[in-house]
Amino acid sequence: MLKSRIETAYFVDVYDLADFLKIQYNLDETPELEATGDFDSDKVYDVCVCELKKWDLDKIERFIRTKHESWSIGVLLTDQCNQGFLAPGKYVIEF
Q: What is the pTM of this model?
A: 0.84
Give the whole-angstrom CA distance, residue 7 versus residue 89. 9
Domain residues of the chain, as ranges? 9-94
- Does 75 have pLDDT greater than 70? yes
Query: What is the structure's pLDDT at 38?
Result: 47
Query: What is the structure's pLDDT at 34?
Result: 75
Q: What is the DSSP letter of 53?
A: P
**Alpha-carbon distances, residue 26 vs 10, 21, 43, 50, 71 (angstroms):** 23, 8, 25, 23, 21
**Rounded to 5°, angle at Cα 19 from 16 and 24:** 120
Cβ atoms within 10 Å of 81's Cβ, excluding its own: 18
- Does 42 have pLDDT greater than 90? no
Mean pLDDT taken over the chain = 87
- Does 40 have pLDDT greater than 60? no
- The tens digit of pLDDT for each residue in 18-31 reads 999 999 999 988 88
